[in-house]
Amino acid sequence: MDGTVPRRASRVNGWLGHRSAKPIAFVLACLPFAWLVFAAFTDRLGANPAEALIRSLGEWTLRFLVLVLAITPLRTTLGWPALLRLRRMVGLFVFFYACIHLLAYAAFDMEFDLAAVAADVIKRPFILVGFLAWLLLLPLAATSFNRAIRALGARRWQWLHRLVYMIAVLAVLHFFWMRSGKNNFAEVGVYAAILGSLLAWRLWRRLRA
């Protein structure tokens, strides 16, 4: 019985370390976007397709953010160090879905009127919070490459990428304010609980250390 868990962890690490793991993960991460494009062109997004597309892209951004923050706890507690190979790619998919979410908002809600976008960012707090989260994602995406890590140094790079915790808080707040108009907080509570648990786990580990 004692050897079952290590053997299982070893098997999972073997799968994650296989050369096909990254291409498979890439394809899986692209599927939500492919489905939304297909649904948009086949009129499957409901009565308000623009709103459905914008909100779905935002929700997928939040899901990938949860996933990237879950990688370290999972690899540590379950003994899956090979999971680390996928963290950079998942983080870049957070940025990808956030960019498409912002682009869809600018295109369908604002018709690419940059002055109107700027006014909306200032006027509506939930738009401002979401925009701030996207701005904080920019330096993380720009430094997600080996050359950037070498240029910054490991310590500075790690400090910079701790911005992901602030991004998580801003993303949940953005989602909360967006749903507050319809008093629909059930899903917000789920994301807040998951992200809160992941951040609390990191705090607990730091205090123990």
Does the structure show a pLDDT above 70 at 180?
yes
Q: What is the pLDDT of residues 29-83, one digit of tens each?
A: 999 999 999 999 999 998 899 999 999 999 999 999 999 999 999 988 888 888 8
Residue 155 and residue 14: Cα distance in Å, rounded? 30
Q: Residue 32: which of 56, 50, 54 has the closest Cα?
A: 56
Residue 169 and residue 136: Cα distance in Å, rounded? 12
Q: Residue 130: which of 142, 120, 141, 143 has the closest Cα?
A: 120
Q: How many CB atoms lie within 10 A of CB 98?
A: 25
54-58, 110-114, 173-177, 186-190, range with the lowest pLDDT: 186-190
End-to-end CA distance of the chain: 30
Residue 16 and residue 155: Cα distance in Å, rounded? 27
Q: What is the pLDDT of residues 154-175, one digit of tens each?
A: 899 999 999 999 999 999 999 9
Residue with token string 């296989």: 18
State residue 2's pLDDT score.
52
Tokens in use for 133? Answer: 């989260």
Under the phi-then-psi rule, with left for phi > 0, alpha for psi from -120 to 50, and beta for the rest, what region is 183?
left
Confidence of residue 11 (pLDDT cuts 50, 70, 90): confident
Domain spans of the chain, in order of start: 47-78+87-208
> What percentage of residues in the chain have a pLDDT greater than 70?
96
List Cα–Cα distances, 53 to 64, 71, 78, 180, 195, in angstroms.
Answer: 17, 27, 35, 19, 24
State residue 110's pLDDT score.
92
Residue 22 and residue 41: Cα distance in Å, rounded? 29
Does the structure show a pLDDT above 60 at 1?
no
Q: What is the pLDDT of residues 81-94, one digit of tens each?
A: 888 899 999 999 99
